[in-house]
Structure 1
Amino acid sequence: MNAVRTLANESLSQALDRVYRKLVTGAGTETPQASASLPYNADDETPGHRLHDLQAMFALSPFERDVLVLCLGCSIEARFVTACAAAHENAQANWPTFGLALATLDDPHWSAIGRARPLRYWTLIEMVRPAGNYAPLLHAPLQIDERILHYLLGVPAIEERLEALTHPFSVPSDSGNALRRDSALRDGLRHWLGHAEQGKAVLLCGERSASRSSAFVALCKEAGLNPYSLYAADLPAAAEERNTLARLWTREAALQNAALFVRCNDGDNVHMLAGWLDQVQAPVAVDAPSGSSAERLPGLRLEVPELSAEERKAAWIDQLGDVSRHLNGTLDRIVEYFHFDAATIQAAASIARETELDEHEAIERTAWRICRQQGRRSLDNLARRIEPRAEWSDLILPPTQTETLQQIAIHMRQRAVVNQCWGFAERYSRGHGLSALFAGASGTGKTMAAEVLARELDLDLYQVDLAALVSKYIGETEKNLRRVFDAAEESGAVLLFDECDALFGKRSEVRDSHDRYANMEVAYLLQRMDSYRGVAILTTNMRHSLDSAFVRRIRFIVQFPFPDAASRARIWQGIFPKNAPLDRIDYEQLSQLNIAGGTIRNIATHAAFLAAEAGTSIGAPQILAASRLEYAKLDKPLTSSETKGWV
């Protein structure tokens, strides 16, 4: 017992001296020399801390521990090299061997060099066998692994073979919120502490990637572990290489007191990943988005919700400090529109605090602008951002349609009051978002109305390219849509689906597999639209082709009529910029052209280019030439009744 206690309290320098004395006296070669100047500060080391911890981590016997110290000494001290050469009676053979360890160290046992024992299983030492030279196992040179050497000397490092695959997490200051608000994450902590050695992973499931990452960081923070990440796609294809990687990470996790977050894509081989996870004997969490194949992996499944509105508001107040008191109702709008995670709130609040402002109103505008900029990161790669320039005066619509659009603006503007302050969001789990369908012929102002609403609410407007979302491969369309909806909810932007009938069409009778999967796409859209909490505007030229169940989930439906003559005259009056030179244009006569507002804009633009080329003002000749071009595009004749009186 006293001998065991002595070894436990031994510092690294003391262990080196003890093993060195055993080496020289056991071989009967020379008088032991004093310890040389070592490449570390032995006085700063807690006695036996790293060496004792290493012995406990990998269950080393006292003999195995001393073999490791022997290899360490030969790597960093000249006296060990000299002693080894003297023991071998060969000045060139200045390395340690297992045979030398058996002959000189206490409590030797042959099993220490076995492949299943810790020294070789965890690659704490390596047997060097030069190519072409036969070296018996007993006399093969031994050397300490470089990563283990750095650990014992207190040198910050990571295993070289893991450096390109694993990456440390950046830890938000308030990442622990996720753990405190969800008892299920405490189950994950108990699972790690109780079963991590059995290789059972924690599956972090949920819709939001940022929330899953924050949950992992929260687990690590509570468990006192350093968080790292690995992409499942980077796992090697060869089974032997995967096995080596599993052992290396298990060793690294023990040395760094670390946990691993495995990020998965839908195309990853989950069977291969499951086999690799079984070999890892360290805390592991898997990023398993809802509906992904990673959810089928064995392990403890945890549903990770996003931050609630109350938690987002508390995070904003905590990060903004005194600035939050000047935001008044704007903070509630920010919380309602921008569903940020803790890290994004921290980044946005940091920018807001560093901005020097004098007026309270300026603080509100700046905070809102910063949130819009932060939200763009998630959508810029998935949709096209439109800069809204249209105003209410640019919309020429009947009073009924104009009033409906104004009602939409009211719903968007008062979302924070109704959903959060009045408790509607807590009472009803779905339908917190706003969806509107704009139906009408091409050019009747549907996209312009979306611009007006986005500008009225000071929100970004993103147009979704449906052609880029629809895929012929089964399940890909739903995955693409999921990414768009997730990003839109976080960004607070207005989402515009142009010509949505291509994607939101009626379900058909199932005649083959194509019909079945097409109906599944529509069913997914119905479910997602019902749970969507952002602002979605959909436009269509063929309302009758939309699925009836989908239409029932739309809060507002606005029918954009084809403009009558009076409306066309008003459109013509406002179509030209005030700086454009005009030559006695009769708007009443131009209103005879039986076309929609979009076509009127095209004619006005083309006529302006013709006038600029001719060096004249914009007049009837240019408008007539432009009209003929547009009518040809529409494949319809320009009749004399439409040009009567001005041609």
Structure 2
Amino acid sequence: MDEIFTQDPKVETENGDWYEANRLYLIAAIAQVEETLRRHATPNLQLKPTALRDAGQIAAAMSPPPALEKFCNTFNLLDFDRDLLLLCAGMELDANWGNLCAAAAGNSQQTYPTFSLALRVLLAPDWAALTHDAPLRWWQAIQVGPGNSLMQSPLRIDERVLHYLLGIEHRDERLVNYVDLVPNQDIQEIGLPPSHRYLVNKIAGVLGSTDGLNYQIVQLCGSDLAEKTAIAAAACTMHGWNLHAMAADRIPTDTDDLANLMRLWEREALLSNSVLLLECDAVDPNDQNRDNAIARLIENSNNPLIVSVSDRRHPRKRPLIAFDVEKATSSEQQAIWRSALGELAESVNGCVEKIVANFNLSSPAIYATCREVQSQNETREELDVALWEVCRVQARSRMDGLAQRIESAATWDDLVLPDEQRYILREIVANVRQRTKVYESWGFADKSTRGLGISVLFAGASGTGKTMAADIIAKELRLDLYRIDLSATISKYIGETEKNLRRIFDAAEAGGCLLLFDEADALFGKRSQVKDSHDRYANLEISYLLQRMESYRGLAILTTNLKDSIDRAFLRRLRFAIEFPFPDAEYRQQIWQRIFPTQTPTQGLDFGKLAQLNVAGGNIRNIALNAAFTAADAGESVMMKHILQAAKSEYIKLERPLTDMEVKEWV
């Protein structure tokens, strides 16, 4: 050990190199134990008592104090505990340490530290030092290896503790699969809006207080995990703490495994000055074992803890201080966009307002969007288009797992409808496009927060153009259209349908999408009279849907084949209701005239005769497509004979007879 201690500790400390000074202090502290071992190995050996003086000089000049001193104070180690820890640390740092242990123990085979050796050579020996509830064993600072007895078993310092004593930041490898560090630099780059900074101050105050026994536990309620993480990290930064995140689905459900994980984390939190963010947002509500494990972790936590949830979690015994994390207001989001864009903000000034009107992104998502666009090196003329498209992609990440995204190239010219219906569709587009101006700039939102959502009902027979109309609206607004799978939304279990709807609406709140509830009468039929508990809960599902549609800032479209099956009270709360009529011969002829792409070769088609087929536009498309395949396979242009063959197949599918009047004089 003496050959390692070659530098003047005063010089290193005055230069401000804490890590080097800490290393020298640890070497000097271990040298004290080394002198003790040598005295017992060779009683008449004369040693210079310099180690104690050197360690004291180094510690006096260090700020903050050495890691060893901080560790002893944090975990309440006695002098004997400290020396026993150093006895084990010397084994890892000095190649000759095993021989010293053997010589001091008088046993050439015992080339490792043991509790027997420690009781023999160290000052103030304490038998209780290695009991399971004593600090060294409780915090797993020392591990007892296999042996015939506790006294003779080899002792080893924990690797994480050794790194800490050396001043090295190294996360316990046993926590790697459970806990992730939230990088401070990522959070510092994000400018939080005033409403969130207010929350940060309140949360920081709660985290720093105790109820006399334990730290208070904070619960952050909201739909955006990234936003809650940024707020939690900012609150921790105010105390100089680090933030680590743990997904709740990683928590072991076995009681012993959970207790061991909590012990390791509590030690890690003290060593790294950290707070845990427990992410419960994606936990399956039906997983009772997982819920119980989360409850045990919360109830038994002895460190500052932040719990992230979508819905407020009800405490069992220990109170949770809850904060609702709302989305930033439109004006706050505009300020964040301009800050994130920097010098480019002036180039897209008009685009920022449009983006905020359609995309409700969190602060982290806004900064990520701007970084991505800036990396693309777009020209200033293309910047607004690039921003818009990246925003759409950001919003998709939350919706793609919940609904089917529909993409189509249909245009207004492809939609054959009476002028009255086309006018209402244009009116819907205007409502979505101008909602920010009307609601906020013109003050309608100040009058009432109810009814600000734009909800629409499309009613009509299958194939009359309802889905195409929704897709055209989405394309006109440059937004994504998502079809909601009602079979996956409706649940026979009480309360599950509302949870499914909530996940959809919460994800859609990020903006950039239109919701299409296809065949909506399956979910939004006439509200039943309450005859049993299931009827009562079915009505609650509809009431929840009405409430979410009224508050949803985007456009929700419901389609039904049977308008009469929709409750009249429900219809009154919709902004628009459009009846898609079954096309008569005139409109069917227009559909036929537009159904074939310009590249498709056709020959001798009589659209007036084709219009005699008494089918809707969706069926016409199927017939035209199948006829094109038949003609292509025959190496011919599309002719009446190919359409006749395809029409027969379509009518068989519809279980309808193809009458002579419909195909009279076709071929």
TM-score, normalised by the number of residues in structure 2:
0.87
State the 1:259 CA deviation.
1.4
2:255 aligned with 1:239, yes or no?
A: yes
Corresponding residue of 2:145: 128
Give secondary structure in 1 for the equivalent of 2:275: strand
Corresponding residue of 1:340: 361
Task: Judge conservation of contact 2:312–2:322 (CA < 8 Å) in 1.
Answer: no
- 1:240-299 CA-to-partner distances (Å, cap 9, x unmatched) read 222221111100111111111222212253333222333332121112212667899742
Query: In percent, how many aligned pairs have the same letter?
Result: 43
Return the alpha-carbon distance in structure 2 between the equivalents of residues 402 and 251 of structure 1.
66
2:301 aligned with 1:280, yes or no?
A: yes
Corresponding residue of 1:314: 335
Return the alpha-carbon distance in structure 1 between the equivalents of residues 193 and 32 of structure 2.
50
Counterparts of residues 154-169 of structure 1 (less than 5 Å) = 154-169=167-182
State the 1:200 CA deviation.
4.3
State the 1:609 CA deviation.
2.2
Give secondary structure in 1 for the equivalent of 2:306: strand
- 1:67-97 CA-to-partner distances (Å, cap 9, x unmatched) read 2222212321245433322221112223333
Give secondary structure in 1 for the equivalent of 2:278: strand
Task: Judge conservation of contact 2:405–2:482 (CA < 8 Å) in 1.
Answer: yes
Which stretch shows the higher mean deviation, 21-30 or 379-388? Answer: 21-30
| Letter paired with 1:522 | I
Task: Judge conservation of contact 1:499–1:538 (CA < 8 Å) in 2.
Answer: yes
Which stretch shows the higher mean deviation, 268-277 or 147-156? Answer: 268-277
The one of 159, 164, 168 equivalent to 1:146 is 159
Return the alpha-carbon distance in structure 1 between the equivalents of residues 80 and 414 of structure 2.
87
Return the alpha-carbon distance in structure 2 between the equivalents of residues 528 and 304 of structure 1.
18
- 1:551-603 CA-to-partner distances (Å, cap 9, x unmatched) read 23321111111112221221121112222222232222322222211112122
| Letter paired with 2:157 | I
Q: CA RMSD in A?
A: 2.8
| Letter paired with 2:72 | Q
State the 1:349 CA deviation.
0.2
State the 1:618 CA deviation.
2.4
Task: Judge conservation of contact 2:641–2:666 (CA < 8 Å) in 1.
Answer: no
Return the alpha-carbon distance in structure 2 between the equivalents of residues 79 and 581 of structure 1.
91
State the 1:354 CA deviation.
2.1
State the 1:47 CA deviation.
7.5
Corresponding residue of 2:3: none
| Letter paired with 1:181 | H
| Letter paired with 2:265 | W
2:530 aligned with 1:517, yes or no?
A: no
The one of 71, 78, 81 equivalent to 1:54 is 71
Counterparts of residues 233-312 of structure 1 (less than 5 Å) = 233-264=249-280, 265=283, 266=285, 267-268=287-288, 269-290=290-311, 298-312=319-333
Return the alpha-carbon distance in structure 2 between the equivalents of residues 174 and 181 of structure 1.
15
Give secondary structure in 2 for the equivalent of 1:444: coil
- 1:423-472 CA-to-partner distances (Å, cap 9, x unmatched) read 44455434443221111111111111111111111111222222222233
2:518 aligned with 1:498, yes or no?
A: yes
| Letter paired with 2:227 | S
Corresponding residue of 1:358: 379
Structure 1 gap ranges (5+): 1-7, 36-41
Query: In the superposition, relative to structure 1, how do residues 452 and 55 fare at CA in structure 2: closer, same or farther (>3 Å)?
Result: same
Corresponding residue of 1:19: 33
Task: Judge conservation of contact 1:320–1:352 (CA < 8 Å) in 2.
Answer: no
Which stretch shows the higher mean deviation, 157-166 or 272-281? Answer: 272-281
Corresponding residue of 2:13: none
2:509 aligned with 1:489, yes or no?
A: yes
Task: Judge conservation of contact 2:38–2:104 (CA < 8 Å) in 1.
Answer: yes
Corresponding residue of 2:631: 611
Counterparts of residues 29-428 of structure 1 (less than 5 Å) = 29=43, 30-32=45-47, 48-130=65-147, 133=148, 135=149, 137-170=150-183, 171-175=186-190, 177=192, 181=196, 183-195=198-210, 198=214, 200-264=216-280, 265=283, 266=285, 267-268=287-288, 269-290=290-311, 298-360=319-381, 362-425=382-445, 428=448
Return the alpha-carbon distance in structure 1 between the equivalents of residues 380 and 182 of structure 2.
38
2:572 aligned with 1:552, yes or no?
A: yes
Query: In the superposition, relative to structure 1, how do residues 618 and 237 fare at CA in structure 2: closer, same or farther (>3 Å)?
Result: closer
| Letter paired with 1:157 | H
Task: Judge conservation of contact 1:200–1:278 (CA < 8 Å) in 2.
Answer: no
Return the alpha-carbon distance in structure 1 between the equivalents of residues 140 and 449 of structure 2.
53
Return the alpha-carbon distance in structure 2 between the equivalents of residues 646 and 297 of structure 1.
80
| Letter paired with 1:216 | A
Corresponding residue of 1:5: none
Task: Judge conservation of contact 1:198–1:278 (CA < 8 Å) in 2.
Answer: no
Return the alpha-carbon distance in structure 1 between the equivalents of residues 409 and 551 of structure 2.
30
Return the alpha-carbon distance in structure 1 between the equivalents of residues 317 and 414 of structure 2.
53
Return the alpha-carbon distance in structure 2 between the equivalents of residues 394 and 218 of structure 1.
52
Which stretch shows the higher mean deviation, 549-558 or 183-192? Answer: 183-192
Corresponding residue of 2:616: 596
Query: In the superposition, relative to structure 1, how do residues 437 and 90 fare at CA in structure 2: closer, same or farther (>3 Å)?
Result: same
Give secondary structure in 2 for the equivalent of 1:396: coil
Query: In the superposition, relative to structure 1, how do residues 25 and 428 fare at CA in structure 2: closer, same or farther (>3 Å)?
Result: farther
Which stretch shows the higher mean deviation, 467-476 or 299-308? Answer: 467-476
2:452 aligned with 1:436, yes or no?
A: no
TM-score, normalised by the number of residues in structure 1:
0.90
Return the alpha-carbon distance in structure 1 between the equivalents of residues 172 and 512 of structure 2.
42
Query: In the superposition, relative to structure 1, how do residues 227 and 424 fare at CA in structure 2: closer, same or farther (>3 Å)?
Result: farther
Task: Judge conservation of contact 1:198–1:281 (CA < 8 Å) in 2.
Answer: yes
State the 1:631 CA deviation.
2.2
Task: Judge conservation of contact 1:569–1:587 (CA < 8 Å) in 2.
Answer: yes
Query: In the superposition, relative to structure 1, how do residues 547 and 225 fare at CA in structure 2: closer, same or farther (>3 Å)?
Result: farther
State the 1:315 CA deviation.
1.6
Return the alpha-carbon distance in structure 2 between the equivalents of residues 21 and 547 of structure 1.
90
| Letter paired with 1:54 | F
Query: In the superposition, relative to structure 1, how do residues 504 and 104 fare at CA in structure 2: closer, same or farther (>3 Å)?
Result: same
- 1:150-176 CA-to-partner distances (Å, cap 9, x unmatched) read 111123322232122212234434456
Which stretch shows the higher mean deviation, 435-444 or 541-550? Answer: 541-550
Give secondary structure in 1 for the equivalent of 2:377: coil
| Letter paired with 1:328 | N
- 1:104-127 CA-to-partner distances (Å, cap 9, x unmatched) read 444444433332221111111123
Return the alpha-carbon distance in structure 2 between the equivalents of residues 386 and 296 of structure 1.
47
Counterparts of residues 558-597 of structure 1 (less than 5 Å) = 558-597=578-617
Which stretch shows the higher mean deviation, 369-378 or 585-594? Answer: 585-594
Which stretch shows the higher mean deviation, 312-321 or 288-297? Answer: 288-297
- 1:363-386 CA-to-partner distances (Å, cap 9, x unmatched) read 211211121122221122222222
Structure 2 gap ranges (5+): 1-20, 52-57
Return the alpha-carbon distance in structure 2 between the equivalents of residues 635 and 231 of structure 1.
53
Query: In the superposition, relative to structure 1, how do residues 178 and 110 fare at CA in structure 2: closer, same or farther (>3 Å)?
Result: farther
- 1:512-560 CA-to-partner distances (Å, cap 9, x unmatched) read 4433333332222122212211221111111222233432332111111
Give secondary structure in 2 for the equivalent of 1:287: strand
Task: Judge conservation of contact 1:175–1:215 (CA < 8 Å) in 2.
Answer: no
- 1:371-405 CA-to-partner distances (Å, cap 9, x unmatched) read 11222211222222222311111121111111111
Give secondary structure in 1 for the equivalent of 2:662: helix
Which stretch shows the higher mean deviation, 368-377 or 634-643? Answer: 634-643
Return the alpha-carbon distance in structure 1 between the equivalents of residues 457 and 315 of structure 2.
36
- The alignment covers a number of residue pairs equal to 629
- 1:301-324 CA-to-partner distances (Å, cap 9, x unmatched) read 221112222222122111111212
Return the alpha-carbon distance in structure 2 between the equivalents of residues 422 and 20 of structure 1.
81
2:488 aligned with 1:468, yes or no?
A: yes
Give secondary structure in 1 for the equivalent of 2:600: coil
Give secondary structure in 1 for the equivalent of 2:661: helix
Task: Judge conservation of contact 1:478–1:521 (CA < 8 Å) in 2.
Answer: yes
Query: In the superposition, relative to structure 1, how do residues 87 and 598 fare at CA in structure 2: closer, same or farther (>3 Å)?
Result: same
